[in-house]
Amino acid sequence: MPVEVHLVTPEHEVWSGSAEMVIARGVEGEVGILAGHAPLLIQLRIAPFRIQEEDGDWIKAVVDGGFLHVTSEGGETRVDVLATGAELADAVDLDAARARKERAEQFLTGRASEPEDAEADAARTELLKAEARLSLAD
User: 76-120 pLDDT, tens per residue?
Assistant: 999 999 999 999 999 999 999 999 999 999 998 877 666 678 888
Tell me the average pLDDT across 59-81.
Answer: 96
* Averaged pLDDT for residues 13-39: 97
Residue 113's pLDDT is: 67
Q: How far is CA 82 from CA 1, 18, 68, 76, 108, in A?
A: 23, 17, 6, 20, 30
| pTM metric for this prediction | 0.90
